[in-house]
Each structure stands twice: as structure tokens, then as C-alpha cells.
Structure 1
Amino acid sequence: MAGRGLHIGIEETEGGGMVRRTVLLSEDGARRRHRVVYEFEDPSGTAADRPMDGAVMAFLFHAMQRGLPVHVHGPVTRTALYNIDTLQGVWRRWRPDRYRTVEILPEAVIDRTAPKPGRRAIAAYSGGLDSTFTILRHRLLLPPERRHGVGALLMVHGFDVALDRPGDFERLVERTRSFRDLVGLDLRVVRTNSKELHLQNWQDSHAAELAACLHLYGAEFEFGLIGSTKPYDALVIPYGTTPIADHLLSGDGFSIVHDGAACSRTEKAAAVAAHPEAVRSLRVCWEGAEQFRNCGVCEKCMRTRMNFAAAGVAAPACFDGPLDPARIAGIPVRNEPQAAELRSIVDYARRHGVQGEWLERLKERVQVIHPGAIHTGTGHTGTGQPEPVPVRAMKAASASLRQAAGALLDAMELKQPLKRVRNRLRTRS
């Protein structure tokens, strides 16, 4: 591949109060050129206010996987260039079989260090528990002197809700209205096809692709907040979003902040539970056919139900009906992080003196997944009879096979396309 390289350029047009920013991604010697579109409303910025920091970060994983130098046809800030170099080092250590360090060659390196008036922040918001907690923290929960001055929320159409589901996205926006009214913040929307092009591994790149959307508002805000997914004592490495690396998605004049990792998911649920508007607005599901609501029975929905149950809320309003303990035994656990989440719920409930049938079922499920993790009880079938060791072993082996299959699909970058096909089939049926 001597002499070859990748090229990143920008086209930008404005009309009707909307900005259409197109990132042109091409490779020497290849005929195909990718057009990655971002459509958004920006009341304060112009093309000159948007350096190409975010554009480079958005497709850095594609470049590292190709192992080619990146020619950037536009300016990159000095801080971003330094951070991108460090970020590449992180991922080269984490996934040496997948990524190589590549040279970033911008047309110009610029300095933009002057603070913006008010030092305001824009917070990424999906309707999920993590982002809801982060926004509540910085609007209502923290003392004013410890808050980031969040001035707007950013929701991306094309990430959690597919671009070809505009109706679902509109219904999600409406679903979250009561929470946005509670915190008194306007919603900014970016529509992009960056995820659906499948140019890189989403599990690795999702924070970088989200940061690229936040960077679009760098002329107005000084910080972009990303809610944590794991607490400091249970970090998943490697993973696309982490307090270890998210700050490296910052540039001059616009800093990405990974927020909330001092709290577990159940602790976040306990804080959110005090605000009914926030609970009603929650949308945590990614497996359901309807992308604006919670299916209530997938792994993440069941796990979130138990987060709230451990926090003393048996039937949170974001779900249709209360938790059914009989479903806990069938929760699919595809990887160790999911297993760790279930164990953390048991630990929280034990520390807070919580009891209930659902908790006993969860202990049984954890014991099957990871024998010895729970030291009380022997594991049961859910019928009151002890579960034979061979049955537990078979279930554990089945979980391992599912995890391996999921990892294979992820490596082949087939998981998201298969999910979209499945959702369309569900919708038609």
C-alpha cells in the first residue's frame, strides 16, 4: 500500500435554518467515495467555526483498520491532533490485531484556546438511563459550583433510532418531552448516516462518532458531556466509551467529558427514581421492534427493571406493567460485562436490605452464570427444586456459545445489519 492514503474533505451548505455538512471519505486507488452526511440546526456557528477535529475522530477507527495515512483537507486544532495520536496508542494496545497507528496530515494546525462566555456544555441524550442521570446531575442534583452549565441536549437520529424510522424518532422526541421540560433544556438534533455505513466496528467507534456530532456545536459550547456506561470499579476494556479514553476526543476550545462513572447503574436508577418525569421518559431498549419505546422483556429492559427494583421501585412508569420474576431465569447473558451488571444489582440489594422474589430469582440466575459468585443459596430451577449441576453447566456452556457467536458477528460487523433485518420482520408481522 505504498503511496496510498485516505482523504477527508468537507462540503457544507446552509438553507432553511439547517446546515448540511458532508464529510467526503476517499482512498487513493479506490473508485468508491463515501459521503457521510450530518444535518443539523446551528444558530450561532458557521463553517469557519467548525474545524475538522470531529470529522477525523469520526472515522479514525476506519483509518487505523486500513493502516493508511489520513490527508485532512482542512484545519485540525493542535489539541485534537495531540489527542488523536494518544488515542491511537490506546487502541493499538487494546486491539493490536485490528488497529495500527496512522499519520494524520492536516492542511493546517490551528490554536483555539480562548474560553467561550459562560463555559457552557451540551449533553448527549438518548433517553437512556446513563444520559438522563448525567443531565439530572448537572441541572438539579449537584451544587451549582460543581455543575457543568448544560445549555442544551443533543439527540442523534441514526444511532439508537435508524434513519429509515423517522416516525419512531419523532415519537421518541415526544416521549422525552416531560423530562426536557423538567430540566428546562432545548433539544438539538443531528441526523447522520455515519453508523449505517458500517465503515468501522461500532462497539469500538461509537463514542468517537458521538463526539463528532457534539463537535458540530463547538462554536456555541465549550464542553460535550457523554454519560458513563460502566462505573470505575467495573470498567470494560476495550470498549468504545470509557473514562480512560473519552477525554482524548477533545480539541482546542471544545472538551469531551465522560461523566458519572463514580455511580453504578442501580445508583443512577435510585437518583432518577426521585423524578417521575425522568422515569416516564426513559427509553433503554435496543432490541425491540419499536425503536421509541421499551419492549420490557429483552436483556437490557429486564436488567433496568431490576435496577429500579433494587432501588425500591417495583414498576417504573417507563415500562408497561411490573417486573415478572418468572422471566429472570431466561435473561440472556452474552458477555462478562452483562454478567457483572447482574452481580452488581445483587450486591446493591444486599447492601440496602432489599428482599423479594425477584431478587431470589436473580441470585439463582447469577449462580448459573457464574457459580460461586453468590454465596447464599445453591441455585434453583424456579420451581423450588435444586437445579442439578449438569443443568447449570449446560446453561453456562450455552451462554458461552452465545457470547462467542456474538463476538464473531461483531468482528465481522454483521450484528447491526442482522438486527435491522430482524426488526423489520417483527414490524411486518
Structure 2
Amino acid sequence: MSWFKSLLKLPAGREGARRDESGLDNFPCGTLSTVISPMAVHVEGTDAERITARITTPSGVETRVTTESNYSLDHSATPWLPPLLTAGMRKGWDITFDGPVDSTALRGASGAQKVFLDWYPKRFREVSISAEPGRVATGATGVGCFFSGGVDSFYSAITESDRITHLIFVHGFDIDVDDENLAARASAAARKSAAELGKPLIEVKTTMRSAFGDRLPLDWGYDFHGAALAHVGLALSQHLSTVIIPSSNCREELTPWGSHPDLDPLWSSGTVEFEHHELELHRLGKIRRIGENRTAMNHLRVCWENLDGAFNCGRCAKCVRTRIGLAAAGAQCTTFPEIIDVRAVRRMDLRSRDDGYLRTALAAMQASGISDAELTQAVNQAIRRSYWTPALFFMRSAGSRVGQVIRRSLRR
């Protein structure tokens, strides 16, 4: 019986894999039961608007991560603390910074470790941080808000407009750092939006995600994106004293996630405070609010798959649920295809959280008296398909393994 169970074992996933690509992919994965230390971080200040960290792993592999902006940046080691702490905890590497790190940020990092260990006790381990405590008084009074042009960021930018002095657009997070074409279109839309909202736009380009979130076994959504946002916010300490991070979920939907009300404030320093904005309103409520704003409806960008290079592809789960929400709100948005391709909807690849979002959006649309039987049927088919796909994969994998054993036996 144990022999048969071994045949059904699925192939190792990403955590067991060792890839051959260059840079951080060559970091030795090891096991979380092995403590490797230290990861050495040397901060290089190339010019006022560009900062670089040279990172050397315990095995001697070296890489550089660069962040640049149209605004001057903090050249201390402080902005590098959140992402490198997250990466270090995932790998089990202690961390040594060769430059000063804000003392408030160091205390907050201890709290961030406790949050991660509570969420992911099997994937993360506690690490030590070696750095010279320090603090640089900047006198900045600005209030920044991260602005991707999506539902959450438009909602925060509109409702907190009286407080916000700057919007922050980042190239290298949801848009690949090498995708200059899409980045140019997205940044142009962000500039127009910021101008219409009466706010200056801080533009940032960083290799942070390509170096860490994609190459280490770090999940961008669940592990890393909040720390990457904190890196950018801390780097702007000469201009901002408060940075608003638009929420991904309302209070009832909270789960462990890279940006979270229990985690975001812990990345604060003595000069920059992070705020996780809006827990009371669910996504459909946000859509209804921004649906009243002409700037949002002319520039809304929610798509991260960008199929065929589209600004909003209109075919992925995020686009479809946003379109349904806009229909329920009676809002007209110019950045989506006019007609939803129901055939593409049926073929959507859904994550577990997408099912609930789509069902809620359909219910809201029907409650608003809007009927689209073909779309409703297509969404329900995609949801049913998402239940069967893992089972079919398992059956194919198991069948393949059993078949291999049988064929080997017949050849003997």
C-alpha cells in the first residue's frame, strides 16, 4: 500500500526546485532547519535620485538591486530593511547591514518577525539583524499614497484627497521592470490622473521584485509586496512623513497577506509612518465610489496579466470581476473592451479567492436589477472548472506515474 501511495505523490513544487537562471536564482535553497548566516548588505549611493544595494549571500553570490525616482532618495540602509528582512526570514539567513538603520525601524522589524512567524511558522524562521542604529531628521511633512491606477488606489486617492500631497507610481511591481511599453502607457495614465486630481506624481522604478519576489521562493502576494512598498516609502523620507498603503481587503476578508493592517505600520521609521487605509468598505463599495469619478473611469487600470499587451485585457479574473462590479454600480469605464468575451471568461484560471469575489460581484449585479444570463453562466462554468482542475491534474499525474511503473515492469 505504501508503494502505491508513493506512485501518487505529486511532483515537487517551486519550494523543492533549484533553478539554473542567473543572479538570485542560484542562491542555495537548503532547508529551513539549517541556519545560514550572514547575508551582507552594502548600500551604494550613486546619485541623489538613485540608490543601490549590493547583496552578498552566504555562498558568495552577489547581486545588485536598484531603485530610482524623479525625487531624491534616502541613501541610508533603512529603506532596505523590510525587503531584506522578509527575504532573510524565508531563507533562514541572518542579515548584516554596513550602514545605519533607523532605530524605530529596527524595533518595528522585531514586531514584523513575530507577525510572519505567526502566519508562516513552517516557511519562515527568526533571524538576527546586525546594523548600526541611527536616525536622520528630515523635517518632511508630505503625505504620499501609493497609486497603481487600480480600484484600491483610486479609492484612497479620492477619499483622502484633502490629506494627500503626492501620489506614488512604481514601475517594477505589477508591471515587469523590463516591460517599458506597458510601463510607459501606465505611467502616462498615472500622470494624467494625478494632474486631474491635483497631485504631483512621484515615479519610481525598481528591480526589487525581479531580484527577490520572483527569484527567491517568495510569494509576491502573500510574502513580499508589502515589504517592497515599505522600501519605496522609506526611500522617500526626504519628502514624506506619512505614506498611505491602500488596502487589498476589507476587515471581514483579512487573511495573511503581504500588505496587512497588522504588518504595514511595523515598517515605519522615525521619519516615515505607514498607514493601511480602509478596512470597512469591501471592493464593490469602492467600485461604486470611484464609479462616480470621471478621472477614475477614464484611467482605471486593474489588469496584471495584460494578455496580448492590453492595458486591461478584459479576460482575466480581475478584469472580469471589476467589469461586473462596474456594471452593478451603473458606471461606465473607458479603459475596458466594450464587450466581455464570454468564451474567455469560461476559460479563466481562477485562484481560490477569485471564486468568492466573482460570486459576490454577480450577486450585486443581479441585486441592481442588471441581468446578463450569458455572462452569469460563463462565470459559473469558470468557477466549476476551477474546482475540477486540481483533481484532474492529480489524476493525470498519478496515472502517468502508475503507467511508468507498469511499462518498466513489462520491459523486465
1:277 matches 2:295 = yes
2:153 counterpart (126, 131, 134): 131
Contact 2:80–2:231 (8 Å) recurs in 1: yes
Q: Is the 8 A contact 1:69 1:102 kept in 2?
A: yes
Q: Which residue of 1 aligns with 2:50?
A: 20
Against the structure 1 CA distance between its residues 286 and 137, is the aligned structure 2 distance closer, same or farther, given a 3 Å change threshold? same
The answer for the alignment partner of 1:345 in structure 2 is: 361
Matching residue of 1:196: 210
Structure 1 spans left out of the alignment, 5+ residues: 370-391, 405-429
Question: 1:328, 1:362 within 8 Å by CA — same for their partners in 2?
Answer: no
The alpha-carbon distance between structure 1 residues 166 and 330, as it changes in their structure 2 partners (threshold 3 A), is closer
CA contact (8 A) 2:324 2:365 kept: no
Q: Would the aligned equivalents of 1:57 and 1:84 in 2 still touch at CA under 8 Å?
A: yes
| Structure 2 residue corresponding to 1:296, chosen from 304, 314, 328 | 314
CA distance in 2, matches of 1:403, 1:296: 27
Q: TM-score, normalised by structure 1?
A: 0.76
Give the TM-score normalised by the residue count of structure 2.
Answer: 0.79
1:149-207 Cα distance to aligned partner (Å, 9 max, x none): 21211111111222222232112122234321221112112111111122333221011
CA contact (8 A) 2:194 2:200 kept: yes
Gaps of 5+ in 2: 1-33, 395-412
CA distance in 2, matches of 1:327, 1:68: 44
Q: Is the 8 A contact 1:334 1:403 kept in 2?
A: no
Q: What per-residue deviation string (whole Å, max 9, x for no partner) do you get for residues 386-421 of structure 1?
A: xxxxxx5xx3532445999xxxxxxxxxxxxxxxxx
> SS at the partner of 1:86?
helix
2:115 pairs with one of 51, 67, 90? 90
Mapped partners of 2:60, 2:380: distance in 1:
51
Change beyond 3 A, Cα 1:291–1:251: farther
Deviation at 1:221, TM superposition (A): 0.8
CA contact (8 A) 1:299 1:333 kept: yes
Question: What SS is found at the alignment partner of 1:150?
Answer: coil
1:33 corresponds to 2:62: yes
Structure 1 letter corresponding to 2:154: T
The residue identity in structure 2 corresponding to 1:319 is: F
Equivalence for 2:272: 254
Q: Which residue of 1 aligns with 2:171?
A: 157
SS of residue matched to 1:64: helix
Instruction: Give the 5 Å matches for 1:35-54.
Output: 35-43=64-72, 47=75, 51-54=76-79
TM-aligned CA deviation for residue 243 of structure 1: 1.6
Residue-pair matches, total = 357
Pair 177,188 (structure 1): closer, same or farther in 2 beyond 3 Å: closer
State the AA in 2 paired with 1:72: F
Q: 1:168 aligns with which of 178, 182, 188?
A: 182
2:409: which partner in 1?
A: none
Secondary structure of the structure 1 residue equivalent to 2:209? coil
Alignment map for 1:400-415 (pairs within 5 Å) = 400-401=390-391
CA contact (8 A) 1:121 1:222 kept: yes
Contact 2:345 2:379 in 1 (8 A): yes
Partner in structure 1 of residue 248 of structure 2: 229
Kindly report the root-mean-square deviation, in angstroms, between the aligned alpha carbons of the 2 structures. 2.7
Please state how far the C-alpha of 1:10 moved relative to its aligned partner. Answer: 0.4
CA change 1:71–1:115 in 2 (3 A) is: closer
Structure 1 residue 101 displacement after superposition = 0.7
Cα shift at 1:331: 4.0
Contact in 2 for aligned 1:346/1:363 (Cα 8 Å): no
Alignment of structure 1 residues 172-183 onto 2, 5 Å: 172-183=186-197
What secondary structure sits across from 1:4 in the alignment? Answer: strand
Letter in 2 for 1:317: T
> Does structure 1 residue 184 correspond to structure 2 residue 203?
no
- Answering whether residue 305 of structure 2 is matched by residue 287 of structure 1, we say yes
